[in-house]
């Protein structure tokens, strides 16, 4: 089978690899859609995320969906031909964090596409059956692959305990920021403002109902948030850009007693934030680490109309493995403004 691997910074190659065998308890999935993600782009651009440094060659991709083609011994409740979305974190089930239900923080997690791990940008993928979630009939493969970024957005809202009617502000209009907007809407909250430098992404955000969209997270963003909240600030701010300025911007945009969820991954190692703004408002600031069993809920929410993602222009045209290199270059190019690029390994 064919597989896309990172062979150096900014270089992806497609190579032959053996088709994996599903071990007992695993299923073999024919991968039909893999969303490219900001974390793939970090690895492509600088070869690391913080101290997670990759060694080349490294397979890429962690947002797969596809169909079940074989079942390992002992697998029940799934059948061949079933369309499924795949949860990319394989957890141990035995460590302290797994035992208290915070499986996304598993001490022994093996996450697809992370340094040294197998990944999803290949024709077939073997995964533990518990990582495989059947998709509703109305959810297609591309939407199913968006279950992962939506799941991270859901994790953010779980952690800040979002309530109906609350006002949300979003920094960063990449795939995660846009999923946050779509999900806020579906959960009965309202996005009042979104900051994003790329015009095309701002248009998608508007189509999803993001309220006021502005180009930067400075003074204009703060004014937009205040205009949308009678000067009170946002109940919940979700930071999805990873920009060095964004933590301080998020703290300023939050209401008194508000909550800030950090999802974006910075490429710098230290951030600046005004502690007095944060302290006087008694803000709760929480970092979001991937997601904890949010995929089934997200797939259910996509059942009718796919949360409007496709209609809003969230998805770029689907390409094959041979298109991964160019796709990552497009995601890296501010001028291109690409949103979610989905790869179908069956296209070669
Ligand atoms: Zn992702
Ligand atoms: Zn564990």
Distance from the CA of 117 to the center of ligand 1, in angstroms? 15
Residue 196: pLDDT above 90?
yes
Of the chain, the percentage scoring pLDDT greater than 90 comes to: 95
More confident residue, 302 or 49: 302
Closest ligand by atom to 39 CA: 1
Q: Please state the rounded mean pLDDT for residues 57-69.
A: 97
Residue 66: pLDDT above 90?
yes
Distance from the CA of 109 to the center of ligand 2, in angstroms? 6
State whether residue 13 is helix, strand or coil.
strand
Distance from the CA of 108 to the center of ligand 1, in angstroms? 19
Distance from the CA of 59 to the center of ligand 2, in angstroms? 23
Q: Please state the rounded mean pLDDT for residues 102-121.
A: 96
Distance from the CA of 285 to the center of ligand 2, in angstroms? 25
Residues facing residue 301 across a β-bridge: none
> Hey, what CATH topology would domain 2-146+315-347 get?
Quinone Oxidoreductase; Chain A, domain 1 (3.90.180)
What are the pLDDT digits (tens) for 112-147?
Answer: 999 999 999 999 999 999 999 999 999 999 999 999
What are the pLDDT digits (tens) for 173-193?
Answer: 999 999 999 999 999 999 999
Distance from the CA of 36 to the center of ligand 1, in angstroms? 7
Q: 190 and 211 in contact (C-beta within 8 Å)?
A: yes
Assess if CATH 3.40.50.720 describes domain 150-287.
yes
Domains 2-146+315-347 and 150-287 share a fold: no
Residue 348: pLDDT above 90?
no
Residue 202: pLDDT above 90?
yes
Burial 176-208 (b: 16+ CB within 10 A, else e): bbbbbbbbbbbbebbbbbbbbbbeebbbbbbbb
Of 333, 342, 304, which Cα lies nearest the Cα of 66? 342
Instruction: Tell me the two tokens of residue 20.
Output: 């994996």
Distance from the CA of 102 to the center of ligand 2, in angstroms? 9
Distance from the CA of 130 to the center of ligand 2, in angstroms? 14
What are the pLDDT digits (tens) for 210-252?
Answer: 999 999 999 999 999 999 999 999 999 999 999 999 999 999 9
pLDDT band of 165, cuts 50, 70, 90 = very high
How many helices, marked H, and strands, marked E, lie in the chain? 11, 19
Closest ligand by atom to 97 CA: 2
Compute the 3-state secondary structure of the chain and give helix, strand, coil in percent, each to the nearest 5.
30, 25, 40
Q: Please state the rounded mean pLDDT for residues 35-45.
A: 94
What are the pLDDT digits (tens) for 278-336?
Answer: 999 999 999 999 999 999 999 999 999 999 999 999 999 999 999 999 999 999 998 88
Instruction: Tell me the two tokens of residue 115.
Output: 């340094």
- All structural domains of the chain with their residue ranges: 2-146+315-347, 150-287
């Amino acid at each position: 089978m064919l597989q896309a691997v990172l062979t150096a910074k900014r270089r992806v190659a497609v190579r032959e690899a053996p088709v994996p065998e599903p071990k007992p308890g695993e299923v073999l999935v024919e991968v039909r859609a893999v969303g490219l993600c900001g974390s793939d782009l970090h690895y492509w651009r600088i070869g690391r995320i913080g101290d997670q440094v990759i060694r080349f060659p490294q397979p890429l991709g962690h947002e797969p969906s596809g169909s079940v083609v074989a079942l390992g011994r002992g697998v029940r409740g799934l059948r061949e031909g079933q369309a499924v979305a795949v949860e990319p974190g394989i957890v141990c089930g035995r460590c302290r964090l797994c035992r208290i239900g915070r499986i996304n923080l598993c001490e022994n997690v093996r996450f697809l596409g992370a340094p040294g791990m197998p990944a999803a940008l290949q024709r077939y993928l073997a995964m533990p059956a518990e990582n495989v979630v059947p998709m509703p009939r109305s959810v297609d493969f591309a939407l199913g692959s968006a279950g992962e970024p939506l799941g991270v957005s859901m994790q953010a809202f779980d952690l800040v305990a979002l309530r109906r009617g609350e006002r949300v502000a979003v920094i960063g209009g990449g795939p995660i920021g846009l999923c946050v907007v779509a999900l806020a809407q579906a959960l009965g909250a309202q996005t009042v403002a979104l900051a994003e430098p790329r015009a095309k992404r701002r248009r998608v955000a508007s189509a999803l109902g993001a309220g006021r969209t502005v180009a930067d997270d400075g003074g204009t963003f703060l004014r937009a948030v205040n205009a949308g909240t009678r000067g009170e600030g946002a109940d919940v701010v979700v930071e999805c850009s990873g920009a060095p300025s964004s933590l301080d911007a998020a703290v300023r945009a939050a209401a008194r007693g508000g909550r800030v969820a950090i999802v974006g991954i910075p490429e710098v190692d230290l951030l600046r934030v005004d502690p007095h703004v944060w302290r006087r408002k008694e803000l709760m600031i929480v970092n979001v680490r991937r997601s904890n069993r949010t995929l089934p809920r997200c797939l259910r929410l996509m059942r009718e109309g796919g949360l409007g993602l496709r209609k809003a222009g969230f998805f770029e045209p689907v390409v094959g493995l041979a298109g991964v290199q160019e796709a990552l270059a497009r995601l890296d190019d501010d001028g291109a403004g690409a949103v979610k690029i989905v790869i179908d390994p069956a296209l070669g």
